[in-house]
Amino acid sequence: MIGIFDSGFGGLTVFKEIKKALPDYNYIYLGDNLRAPYGDRGQEIIYQFTEQAVNFLFKQGCDLVILACNTASSDALKKLQQEWLPANYPNGRILGVIRPLTEEATKVSRFGKIGVVGTTATIKSGAYLRELKHLSSLARLCPTIKAWQQACPLLVPLIEEGWLDKTETRMILKKYLRPLKDQQIDTLILGCTHYPLLMKEFKRLCGKRVNVLNAPKIIAAKLVDYLQRHPELEQKLVKQKAVRYLTTGDPKTFSKLGGKFIGLEISAEKIVL
Ligand code: DGL
């Protein structure tokens, strides 16, 4: 079984594309809505919460857990992969979203000028910049990558309020993007699960010369590729098309709001972490 973890609803944008690309598998989606948002919390608490959630998903029988949340990927993934997993579930796998997005960005960027937007915690962690630097030192294709990042803390609450078409949201987004545009970036990584819901605005404000990456589609395509390269894991995954949605918050609210993120009617169950 594949587990998908997010701090709340946002990861459903990613899960939607994963389910489209890989419809046959069994999935558990877990949103820690009770303790969301993670984006303005500190690194240690984000790690603790993520470890609890991942532990829960492995206990449910997951073989692979995807951290769809950028904040959790930035602040918890490395330690989970390097220390926690070998000690607790040596046969389990945990993947995040930073590697697939930075790989794609370095591949498609024309002039190696990459911008990253995300929550305060994601940006503070420097995880995207570190990964871009690492890839740029490996790849001969794009050795001169330069990257800039911008925290956009107001976007998650605005998106959750449904303020997608409001002038206020547009003005705030414009202000956030200004410093990146001043650097003449050619590629933009939307390093937050919620931002794809503002894709049209991002594209419009960035202009035609900037490639705004469609994060959920890229993550889904990289997962397809990953499973092809790891048949020993792929063979273990149950394929009965069963999906469960779990939340630490109110299941009714999750079903209603989550349904909007995924574009489906869903019914969530409450769990305690
Ligand atoms: N899911 C988070 C992310 O992708 C955004 C919401 C939050 O701050 O918890 O960074």
Average pLDDT over residues 183-196: 96
211 within ligand 1 shell (Cβ under 6 A)? no
How many angstroms is it from 13 CA to the middle of ligand 1?
12
Does 141 have pLDDT greater than 90? Answer: no
Does 245 have pLDDT greater than 60? Answer: yes
**CA pair distance 29, 242, nearest whole angstrom:** 11
| 52-99: pLDDT as tens digits | 999 999 999 999 999 999 999 999 999 999 999 999 999 999 999 999
Contact present, 128 and 98 (Cβ < 8 Å): yes
Helix axes 127-138, 98-108, angle to 10 degrees: 50
How would residue 263 be classed by pLDDT, with cut points 50, 70 and 90?
confident
pLDDT at 264: 84
What one-character-per-residue DSSP string does 25-59 give? Answer: S-EEEEE-GGG---TTS-HHHHHHHHHHHHHHHHH
Domains of the chain from N-terminus onward: 2-96+217-270 (3.40.50.1860), 98-215 (3.40.50.1860)
Selected residue with higher pLDDT from 144 and 94: 94
184: left (phi over 0), alpha (psi -120 to 50) or beta: left
196 within ligand 1 shell (Cβ under 6 A)? no
Both structure tokens of 105: 């960005």
Does 143 have pLDDT greater than 80? Answer: no
| 20-35: pLDDT as tens digits | 999 999 999 999 999 9
pLDDT at 77: 98
How many angstroms is it from 4 CA to the middle of ligand 1?
14
pLDDT at 182: 97
Contact present, 258 and 245 (Cβ < 8 Å): yes
pTM of the model: 0.96
How would residue 4 be classed by pLDDT, with cut points 50, 70 and 90?
very high
Catalogue the active-site residues: 69, 192
Selection from 173, 183, 174 nearest residue 149 by Cα: 183
